[in-house]
Chains A and B, each alone.
Chain A
Amino acid sequence: MSLETETHRWKMEKGVSGDLIFKGVTVLFAFSILVILLLMIVEMTGESLPAIRQFGWRFVSGQDWDAVQSSFGALPYIWGSVVSSILALLLATPLSVGTAILITEIVPKKVGGIVAALVELLAAIPSVIYGLWGVLVMAPWLQKTVQPFLIERFGFLPFFKGAPYGVSMLAAVFILMIMVVPIITSITKEVLLAVPQSQKEAAIALGATRWEMIRTAVLPYGKSGILGAVILGLGRAIGETMAVTMVIGNSPQISLSLLSPAYTMPSVIANEFAETTSKLHASALMEIGLILLVVTLVINALARLLLWSVTRGAKKGARL
């Protein structure tokens, strides 16, 4: 930086080493981010190697998870994670985008500020407390009212077959939905705020109603940013551990029914990692962790790139 070169000469004259030491410390700490990230990847890969060598691709396609027989297949967990996250996002995305539009375009600024603050409070609640509410309040409610209703009315569909347990895939989907809504909403809000005022005014001037303005001027402009927000929400949903563990029932089965208990990748780690029975068992859990790490790395990198492209675009627009 220019400031640094300017002080360089001064430093040479006075022979000060303080700057050098200080810079060294900041460099060290800044690069610790890269070290942590690399360390995570290396450690997780290293610890997974026994399981990778033993099972190969069968690990992701196998269905039995038996610590006694030392046979490990992670498909039920992958299935549980993928299905619960995607369904939660399908429900959360329209709600979040709708709320973000309401905050930025429809209600007065003060009301919008209050709604935004409430949504942020939702994000501040720890995951274990969502789980507590989920398992002690929501799951019994699902078991007594929602699930019997679904079975009675839609029981002929494979998605609503079986007995009402309360703790189930459905409970996990609901809890995840509640938990990812604040993230998607607040990021979408930022994205929509970056839409240039002139663009909106142009649409209004051409005679568009407010909804037409939102549809033709706001949403197309924020498209990739909203996609980034949704992908970030996906990353959060896939990695969510405590709340899901408490409401999903923790039963490693692949079932089309939303009413039956299931299991996710983070949940099996949370439940079994502290009490592994063998080296291979620990390694298998590590491999699940590694899959989770790689998936979330890719998801987050993708989301950040999308969001950066939007905010950078907004800055360029402002300069013009």
Chain B
Amino acid sequence: MTLLAWRKLKNTGMTLLMGGATLMVLIPLILIFVHIVKMGLGSISLDFFIHIPKPTGEAGGGMANGMLGSAFLIALASTLGIPIGIFGAIYLSEYGGSKVSGLIRFCADVLSGIPSIITGMVAYTLLVVPMKGFSALAGAFALALIMIPIVLRTTEEQLKLVPNSLREASLALGVPLWRTSLKVTLRSAMTGVMTGILLAIARIAGETAPLLFTALGNQFWTRKLTDPIAAMPLQIFNFAISPYEDWHKLAWAGALVLVTIMFALSLTARWFGRKKGLS
């Protein structure tokens, strides 16, 4: 074999190898997806959306309390996390000196890499211990802590893309800097900021570990902020590790609903992103 033929053979071989690697990456995705759809569709029903879990051994029941609990936790975490993230980002892109901004940016990146279970432990010591009990409030606080660095970094990236001439035009018209930041800079970056917010929500919607010892979970409805609250990921976890077939079914149905919501969120985020790209 000539050297050239050998080199070409090697090229083909490596190309095939990389194709094989890609297949190995995609196969689990397809397997997981097919399983969730198959098992989920097999066990989902109207009951799933309107009932709370039945006691062990009884068939039927649903995750209505978990779904509402998750929605509530996300809403509460968002009201705390989104403003902090957005205003923090405005500081980084509009005011901050490069050294301070660099430090905060770095810390935000590092913070978003910290395991979420640690966030749960910190929320436990800060809220659960002083309030003497697991609560919806503590769960939302833990989720907000996870949201802040994500929203901050994505918003900042978007604000940086806004051309300086827009800011200058607004300032030249005599609009104060703070109104310029809100009404001109932030508004022109809004679609991108929405993408970031949706991705952050998608991230916390599936979080389980930080809720384990903050929101704790609840078999029933929650009436007070200071009571433990049910959340879908927690219910999926508890049902999956239980030995009961009925509960496994509920877990699959929950997984299907959760994955559908997540994919919808990331598709909407992409759609926002694309709109931004076109404009």
Q: B209–A33 contact, CB under 8 A?
A: no
Q: Answer yes or no: A94 CB below 8 A from chain B CBs.
A: yes
Q: A36–B145 contact, CB under 8 A?
A: yes
CB distance from B231 to the nearest CB of A (A): 10
Q: B208–A30 contact, CB under 8 A?
A: no
With the chains together, A30 CA to B105 CA distance in Å? Answer: 9
Q: How many A-B residue pairs have CB under 8 A?
A: 265
With the chains together, A36 CA to B149 CA distance in Å? Answer: 10
With the chains together, A26 CA to B100 CA distance in Å? Answer: 13
B208 partner residues in chain A, CB cutoff 8 A:
126-128, 241-242
B32 partner residues in chain A, CB cutoff 8 A:
125, 129-130, 133, 178
CB distance from B118 to the nearest CB of A (A): 5
A39 partner residues in chain B, CB cutoff 8 A:
122, 126
Bitwise, A230-243 to B at CB < 8 A (1) or not (0) is 00100110111110
Q: A129–B255 contact, CB under 8 A?
A: yes
Q: B22–A98 contact, CB under 8 A?
A: yes
B251 partner residues in chain A, CB cutoff 8 A:
132, 136
Q: B117–A289 contact, CB under 8 A?
A: yes
CB distance from B254 to the nearest CB of A (A): 9
Q: Which of B15, B178, B233, B259 contacts A210 (CB 8 A)?
A: B15
Q: B202–A124 contact, CB under 8 A?
A: yes
Assuming the A-B contacts A23-B178, A211-B10, A286-B121, are A33 and B104 also in contact, with contact meaning beta carbons closer than 8 angstroms in the complex? yes
Say whether chain A's binding surface is mostly helix, strand, loop, or mixed: helix
Closest chain A residue, CB of each to CB of B251 = A132
Q: A242–B237 contact, CB under 8 A?
A: yes
Q: B213–A274 contact, CB under 8 A?
A: yes
Binds A, one of B44-52, B83-91, B189-197, B218-226: B83-91
Q: B118–A40 contact, CB under 8 A?
A: yes
Bitwise, B145-162 to A at CB < 8 A (1) or not (0) is 100110010000000000
CB distance from A136 to the nearest CB of B (A): 6
Q: B176–A273 contact, CB under 8 A?
A: no
A120 partner residues in chain B, CB cutoff 8 A:
266
Q: B240–A136 contact, CB under 8 A?
A: yes
Assuming the A-B contacts A3-B171, A98-B22, are A293 and B206 also in contact, with contact meaning beta carbons closer than 8 angstroms in the complex? no
Closest chain A residue, CB of each to CB of B164 = A3
Q: Answer yes or no: A205 CB below 8 A from chain B CBs.
A: no
With the chains together, A18 CA to B90 CA distance in Å? Answer: 15
Bitwise, B97-126 to A at CB < 8 A (1) or not (0) is 100000110111111011111110110111
Q: Answer yes or no: A224 CB below 8 A from chain B CBs.
A: no
A201 partner residues in chain B, CB cutoff 8 A:
none
Most buried by A among B20, B28, B84, B148: B28
B95 partner residues in chain A, CB cutoff 8 A:
1, 4, 23, 26-27
Most buried by B among A11, A125, A130, A210: A125
CB distance from A223 to the nearest CB of B (A): 18
With the chains together, A18 CA to B180 CA distance in Å? Answer: 12
With the chains together, A130 CA to B255 CA distance in Å? Answer: 10
B255 partner residues in chain A, CB cutoff 8 A:
129, 132
With the chains together, A66 CA to B94 CA distance in Å? Answer: 54
Bitwise, A99-123 to B at CB < 8 A (1) or not (0) is 1011100100000000100111110
With the chains together, A37 CA to B111 CA distance in Å? Answer: 7
Assuming the A-B contacts A99-B21, A266-B117, are A209 and B10 also in contact, with contact meaning beta carbons closer than 8 angstroms in the complex? yes
B108 partner residues in chain A, CB cutoff 8 A:
33
B26 partner residues in chain A, CB cutoff 8 A:
115, 118-119
The 9 nearest A-B residue pairs measured at CB: A126-B206, A239-B115, A98-B21, A22-B178, A26-B91, A300-B113, A30-B91, A30-B88, A209-B11
Q: List 21 A-B contacts (CB under 8 A).
A: A1-B95, A19-B177, A30-B87, A40-B114, A43-B126, A95-B25, A98-B18, A98-B22, A118-B26, A118-B29, A122-B28, A122-B29, A133-B31, A133-B32, A209-B11, A211-B14, A232-B113, A235-B113, A242-B209, A292-B115, A296-B114
